[in-house]
A and B are shown apart, each in its own frame.
Chain A
Amino acid sequence: MLQPLTVVVLVATGLLAILAAHHLLRRRLVDDPIVLTGAAIEVALLVQLVVGLANASAIADGAERATFIAYLFTVLVVIPVTVVIAIKEKTQWAMAVVLGGAVVVAILVARLQQVWSLHG
């Protein structure tokens, strides 16, 4: 698929993870950098969704294609949910959730790339 886009998302999730880890250690709560980085990731994931859907027909196997499309949509959910949880929670666990969410997005994007490269 779009390799540069995947790289961008992975770098951005890495940045979000570092920010969240830093805030976690410093006992800080959600702030603008966290939300903005999350928003940037979300935009990149939306671009990925459009590109992915446009090219999904290249995957011949029906089940694999369905998996691919399901991943494209699932990955969109993670960042908004974790940010909402982080805003509601007023202890250091807020940042633990964001950190976990960033890792999950990175894993899902890597999985997408894997499904694509095996069948694209």
Chain B
Amino acid sequence: MAEQPDTGQSNTGQSNTGQSNTGQSNTEQQTTEQPPHTGHGFGRVLVAVYGLLALAATGRSILQITEYFDRAPVPYLLSALAAVIYIVATIGLARGDRTSVRLATIALTVELVGVLVVGAISYAARSAFPDKTVWSHFGQGYGYVPLVLPLVGLWWIHRTNRASEAASREPAAAAESES
């Protein structure tokens, strides 16, 4: 495998050809350039993390709803909602076609709003949240990953979209239009 250019790093994004980090552009002969894709390169990390959160949230909410739903119905339903959103985000990012990315964008936006609203409510009205959800206390129980992740995900989708627009518009001029 040839050495890869450092295109995966966000801070070097301006210097390369506007491809996402799946692009391998250091050799002219290379014809296997892949179009930007939300599920490739750094996107694999996002897909992995979202997949894990989907698994964790699904498991937790199944347990909560089947074993002790009466204890705190609202948080447990929120856990289930979060689980569905994580599943949609995982599949959307991994598939990476137009519709999937749009779905993932919606899922991530809902997630961001959810973690902010639920996080705020869980501090303001503790009695409403006798048990934890992934979103309560801004995702504290999960190392604030639920708060940071939608921001990272939306940035990544934005970056991939811009890169593919630039690539489809005028591949030669992509270097100028990026950044």
Contacts and interface: CB of A to CB of B under 8 A. Distances in A.
Interface stretch (A6-14, A52-60, A85-93, A112-120): A85-93
B41 interface: yes
Interface string B25-68: 00000000000000011111101110110011001000100011
A60 to B, nearest CB: 14
B22 interface: yes
Contact residue range for chain A? 20 to 34
B1 A93 contact: no
A104 B3 CA distance: 28
A52 B42 CA distance: 36
A100 interface: yes
A104 B45 CA distance: 13
B13 interface: no
The 8 closest A-B pairs by CB, nearest first: A63-B67, A89-B44, A97-B48, A70-B59, A93-B44, A85-B44, A91-B41, A93-B42
B73 interface: no
Contacts, number: 57
Contacts of B51: 81
* Main secondary structure on B side of the interface with A: helix
Contact of B48 (A29, A74, A82, A92): A82
Contacts of B55: 74, 77
26 contacts: A27-B4, A63-B63, A63-B68, A66-B63, A66-B67, A74-B56, A74-B59, A77-B55, A85-B44, A89-B44, A90-B1, A90-B4, A91-B4, A91-B8, A91-B40, A92-B4, A92-B8, A93-B21, A93-B41, A93-B43, A93-B45, A94-B44, A96-B45, A97-B44, A97-B45, A101-B48
Interface residues of B, number: 24
A78 to B, nearest CB: 7
A88 B45 CA distance: 12
A27 B67 CA distance: 46
A97 B39 CA distance: 13
Contacts of A100: 45, 48-49
